[in-house]
Structure 1
Amino acid sequence: MTTTRAGTVIHVRGLEKSYKGLHVLRGVDFDVVRGSIFALLGTNGAGKTTAVKILSTLLGADAGTASVNGFDVATQAGDVRESISLTGQFAAVDEILSGRENLVLVAKLRHLRDPGGIADELLDRFSLVDAATRRVSTYSGGMRRRLDIAMSLIGEPPVIFLDEPTSGLDPQSRVEAWNSVRELAGRGTTVLLTTQYLDEAEQLADRIAILHEGRIMVNGTLAELRALLPPAKVEYVERRPTLEDVFLALVGTTSKSGERA
């Protein structure tokens, strides 16, 4: 097992990854403590998904080290996989089956006792009881995402990766997904969330790291990030810096190619 500071569940140092000369990660460092929500914030192409793929053992790093739940992602991949669950950008649910049938199927695949009981508990926990027997094809986007997260929790993994969990969802569905994420952390699950939505990071994260052009530009609490900019000036209305102000001040509004970020 990899030695890390007490309470640290995800430990990343010097992580690098390139694709055919394109440097996606350029020495990424961060830690995530147990039971917290950590947001990895950045524009499309910043390297967020690549980092998650490395941490979930789906991709090898070119350099650097990373551990999840005390296990090295390169040398103890099997132990890492037993400790995590990954929810991608698109809900991985079977639309032909009902919500309950999806949950029961995953519980059976994981060889757990009482799959029906597990399914019923999760349906209640994620407010899907009324839709339990309906085909998932009839679900709203928010309901599918809640079901997807519920499926990810079968077996009670201590760490869950949420890669752009609200991408493409309408505002109401996003709020439903946010409530589900808060519920996870409230029960002690460690959550690493990638997002390009600034308000999402503001609403959910205990700590926020801004990833830009393969590097972590800043890592801290929302209050710490706000403190990077001048304090609010009282003119007609007092306005504190928002996370969007911090993000755009650090990253800028245009990419290297000249396109707006």
Structure 2
Amino acid sequence: MNEIEGNGSGEEWSFETSLIVSDASREWLRLRIKQLRQFPEIKKELTSEKLSEQCKDPAVTAQTIHGFIREDSQALNDRSHQDLVRYIWNNHWGTDQWQKEGAAREPAALFHALTHFLGTHQQSLSELSREAPGLYTVWAPSLHLPGKYTKGMLSIRHDEDTGAVEVTETHVFTGWDNTASLKEEFCGFLIKKSRHYVMFTRRRGGQSGPPRLTIIDNTLSDQAQIVVMQGMVTGCYGANVLFSSPIYIERTQVSTDELTKTLDITDDIPESVKMKLKISFSDNVIRF
């Protein structure tokens, strides 16, 4: 076991042990960064400038990191040590697991893996990239204020370089009645299997929490473009709430800026949309 792999006590380094600030963990961090910089594919993510950006302490500069790596200086405070440890482990660089992930680390890997797993035909992929891109209004029951509805925004785009169909879903609460405002953004991919569409998303920026899954089982198209999507979304809200709810998505012709201004939790929902968000419950089964 070498200096990178061990912590001096006969145990392998883990996230928890490397997070504890000590002379040994500082040496592990220094040597780990040096070792990782030898790989051209990730070297740019480990420059002194990039590492300094991961530190919440504004006093930590690229020169600070440079001095730490070269052992010219030990001037890396405990908080910044832990910031860099989290950066290393969050990118799976704490061990050599990242090398085994290979193509899975590519930005659009999940899109292609899901379409392959589901056996989606090329015709369906071509239809998806042609009929889905655009800007949509999203309606769903509110989890934050039960009894009300969220008016959100869904942007769908086809990345011609990767072939993936990407989605970004945005929900806003403006914070009326002296309550704090909130904004949630989920990003991910849209895939198609037969007549069904599936969105697989996570919170933007890789924030903690499980993914959300949206399944669309009813669509309306006009001139080879989807104009309406209806289905259900399931995921977690907060720390412990597992939910499933109906969702209604409608293509809009307004600009992104215009639509963004109208996003909120509201009672002002078209009656026709409200009816489409009705569900039934029988024999312990929720039907959308």
TM over 0.5: no
**TM-score, structure 1 as length reference:** 0.23
* TM-score, normalised with respect to structure 2: 0.22
More strand, by proportion = 2
Which has the higher Rg, Structure 1 or Structure 2?
2
Q: Which has the higher contact order (CA 8 A, sep 6+)?
A: 1
